[in-house]
């Protein structure tokens, strides 16, 4: 029953998102298309983090790295004259997955405080790497020479087409997450989070499964990075700054850990909140900071916990 209610809310939300271009045109505010496209891209990033954080209990503070890797893959290829979107996508996913594999292999052997710090450190390493390579903009970043080209399938230059592409990816990844989380693989990941000793006792070593989940999450975030750089038309190492990881984490928490639709809601709320606050004052972070602290202290179960049909478990 509860699952069905949640599903209805998610579908309703997606339907609303699908109507945004039409609504924006009617109100003559094309800005909304831009805004919500950005929200959706971060929702995809948050969704990928939710897999390992919400369901897997792996507090990875370095997830923004994959946003950067996906973006850099596209920008670098484009810089060298390769604009084929499919090829860029393959490289973005491949690079994200590959680097996630390496970082994960080292980090997942640890746990607790160590894991948090290590993922944080590796992300900063990539950030400094990005800064130090002058050819790709170094500190200031670089413009994207040309948007990714997908033959005649979709034109990223057209805001509405791009919007629906992002929406499509979001829906696809939502569905993928749903299948993943309830599959045998997903059960192992969730079990390892719930009770690691018990999982080892029944005969499962969590490490390899966690590593695979880490790689999948990294690859999905790489896709978000590709979309992001096409959206902003500009790329800076800030894409992978660790504070960005913190933002994405907050989206996952705000929305509600371990729910499929939560991250989308979290992305929506956090980004709209940031937008709103920055309209009031340039010092909006001084309001956001304590707000986040309060949210952690008092609204632990996130917004999804406030939705109808939410149940207390555990």
Least distance to another protein, CB of residue 30, Å = 31
Closest CB to another protein among residues 120, 174: 120
DSSP state of 309: T
Closest CB to another protein among residues 136, 164: 136
Closest CB to another protein among residues 121, 154: 121
Closest CB to another protein among residues 76, 165: 76
Place of tokens 């069905």: 4
Residue 149, SS3 per DSSP? strand
Least distance to another protein, CB of residue 252, Å = 10
How many other β-carbons are positioned within 10 Å of the β-carbon of residue 61?
22
DSSP state of 142: E
Closest CB to another protein among residues 168, 290: 290
Closest CB to another protein among residues 205, 272: 205
Closest CB to another protein among residues 155, 196: 196
How many angstroms separate the CA atoms of 32 and 273, rounded?
15
Least distance to another protein, CB of residue 127, Å = 9
Least distance to another protein, CB of residue 269, Å = 15
How many angstroms separate the CA atoms of 60 and 35, rounded?
27
How many angstroms separate the CA atoms of 81 and 70, rounded?
17
Least distance to another protein, CB of residue 258, Å = 9
Least distance to another protein, CB of residue 230, Å = 26
Q: Which residues bind another protein (CB under 8 A)?
A: 53, 59, 61, 106-107, 109-110, 112-114, 116-118, 120-122, 124-125, 128-129, 131-135, 179-180, 182-188, 191, 194-195, 197-198, 200-205, 209, 212, 242-243, 246, 249-250, 253, 283, 285-286, 288-293, 296-297, 300, 313-314
How many other β-carbons are positioned within 10 Å of the β-carbon of residue 31?
10
Least distance to another protein, CB of residue 162, Å = 29
- Environment class of residue 39 by beta-carbon count within 10 Å: exposed (0-12), middle (13-18) or buried (19+)? buried
How many angstroms separate the CA atoms of 41 and 223, rounded?
9
Least distance to another protein, CB of residue 142, Å = 16
How many angstroms separate the CA atoms of 1 and 4, rounded?
5
- Count of residues in the chain: 314
Helix (H) or strand (E) run with residue 234 in it: strand 234-235
Nearest to 36 by CA among 48, 50, 23, 49: 23
Residue 148, SS3 per DSSP? coil
Displacement of CA 279 from its chain's centroid (Å): 24
Closest CB to another protein among residues 7, 291: 291
Tokens of 3: 């699952």
């Amino acid at each position: 029953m509860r699952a069905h209610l949640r599903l209805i809310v998610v579908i309703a939300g997606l339907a609303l998102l699908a109507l945004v271009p039409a609504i924006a045109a009617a109100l003559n505010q094309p800005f909304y298309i831009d805004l919500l496209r950005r929200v959706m891209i971060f929702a995809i990033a948050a969704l990928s983090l939710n897999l390992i954080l919400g369901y897997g209990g792996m507090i990875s503070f370095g997830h923004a790295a994959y946003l950067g890797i996906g973006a850099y893959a596209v920008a670098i290829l484009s810089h060298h004259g390769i604009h084929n979107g499919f090829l860029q996508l393959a490289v973005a996913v491949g690079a994200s997955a590959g680097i996630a594999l390496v970082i994960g292999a080292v980090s997942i052997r640890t746990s607790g405080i160590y894991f948090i710090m290590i993922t944080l450190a590796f992300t900063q390493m990539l950030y400094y790497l990005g800064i130090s390579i002058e050819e790709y903009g170094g500190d200031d970043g670089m413009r994207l020479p040309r948007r990714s080209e997908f033959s005649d399938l979709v034109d990223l230059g057209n805001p509405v087409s791009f919007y629906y592409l992002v929406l499509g990816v979001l829906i696809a990844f939502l569905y993928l997450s749903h299948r993943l989380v309830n599959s045998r693989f997903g059960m192992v990941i969730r079990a390892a989070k719930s009770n690691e000793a018990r999982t080892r006792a029944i005969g499962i070593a969590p490490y390899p499964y966690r590593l695979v989940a880490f790689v999948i999450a990294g690859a999905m975030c790489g896709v978000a990075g590709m979309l992001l750089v096409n959206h902003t038309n500009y790329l800076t190492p800030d894409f992978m700054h660790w504070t960005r990881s913190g933002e994405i984490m907050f989206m996952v928490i705000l929305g509600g850990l371990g729910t499929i639709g939560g991250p989308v809601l979290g992305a929506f709320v956090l980004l709209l909140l940031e937008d709103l606050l920055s309209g009031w004052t340039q010092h909006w972070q001084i309001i956001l900071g304590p707000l986040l602290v309060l949210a952690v202290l008092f609204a632990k179960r996130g917004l999804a916990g406030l939705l109808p049909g939410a149940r207390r478990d555990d």
